Amino acid sequence: MIAIFKKELWTYFGNWSAWFIIGAFSLIASLFLFFFENDSNIFDIGSASLQSYFTLVPWLLMFIMPAVSMKTLAEEQQSGTLSWLFSQPIKISEIIIGKFLAVWVVGILCLLPSLIYLYTVYVLGIPEGNIDLGATFGSYFGLLFVTAAFSAVGILASSLSQNQIMAYLLGVFMSFFLYFGIEQLASYKLLGGLDYALSTLGFYQHFLAFSRGLIDTRDLFYFLLVIGICLFLAKVFVEKKK
């Protein structure tokens, strides 16, 4: 597993793809937060808060993480190196987990430049430091799990596809549905008392709890369960290709 993890990280950082993704992610976030006129612009909001950033980031991750993960298994199959991996003394579960951890690390590194935003908002507060640190750090903690969940979904999409483009499109669709689609279906109130239960199946409600500064073991368990199911299914689909 460690060997796969190191190999994947070298693949990302050795050819500058990870640096490009991290830079693009930070640039887009900066434009929305400080330059473009929109509901996320911190200066337009006039409040020392990063909540607009935490609202924006899941939408960026929805497109970024499938791009990071699309080649993890689809490219291996397309190039024929997946068969070579099968011949090595390594379990399929170790291959899946190693690739997942590498994708997750790239996702976490995309979030690190936002500490500059945190410092900026902290300094601009009146008085200085007038920011809800509980909600802020709770949101960061939640983003770690949202990033991990999107990474696992991307790995699953890559295991289902034979080329990277299909893996990316499938990953975006699955991520969109799990984060926003389920929440929208619940908002139509078609199931009566079951609408709330339906909304809890999506990422949004569980991340919302973190953004309020609440760290609930039920939300942690939810994300760990989603990650576990996605990686298990990816393992099943890869085993069928053996």
In the structure, what pLDDT confidence band is assigned to residue 97 with cuts at 50, 70 and 90?
A: very high
In the structure, what pLDDT confidence band is assigned to residue 113 with cuts at 50, 70 and 90?
A: very high
What's the rounded mean pLDDT across residues 70-95?
A: 83
- pLDDT higher than threshold 80 for residue 66: yes
In the structure, what pLDDT confidence band is assigned to residue 190 with cuts at 50, 70 and 90?
A: low
- pLDDT higher than threshold 70 for residue 223: yes
Is residue 218 one of the residues assigned to a domain? yes
Classify residue 81 as exposed, middle or buried by CB count within 10 Å of its CB (0-12, 13-18, 19+). Answer: exposed
Segment 118-142, tens digit of pLDDT: 888 888 766 766 777 888 899 999 9
Counted domains in the chain: 1
Is residue 129 one of the residues assigned to a domain? yes
Is residue 41 one of the residues assigned to a domain? no
Is residue 166 one of the residues assigned to a domain? yes
Q: What is the pLDDT of residue 215?
A: 83
Question: What is the C-alpha end-to-end distance of the chain, expressed in Å?
Answer: 18
More confident residue, 185 or 171: 171
This prediction's pTM: 0.92
Is residue 43 one of the residues assigned to a domain? no
In the structure, what pLDDT confidence band is assigned to residue 11 with cuts at 50, 70 and 90?
A: confident
Say if residues 146 and 211 touch (Cβ distance below 8 Å): no
In angstroms, how far is CA 162 from the centroid of its own chain?
22
More confident residue, 168 or 4: 168
The percentage of residues in the chain with a pLDDT greater than 70, rounded to a whole number, is 95
Buried b (16+ CB within 10 A) or exposed e, 148-173: bbbbbbbbbbbbbbeebeebbebbbe
For residue 166, give both structure tokens: 């299909």
Is residue 44 one of the residues assigned to a domain? no
More confident residue, 213 or 157: 157
Is residue 209 one of the residues assigned to a domain? yes
User: Which residue range is the domain that position 89 belongs to?
Assistant: 2-36+50-240
- pLDDT higher than threshold 90 for residue 103: yes
What's the rounded mean pLDDT across residues 52-74?
A: 92
Is residue 30 one of the residues assigned to a domain? yes
Q: What is the pLDDT of residue 159?
A: 93
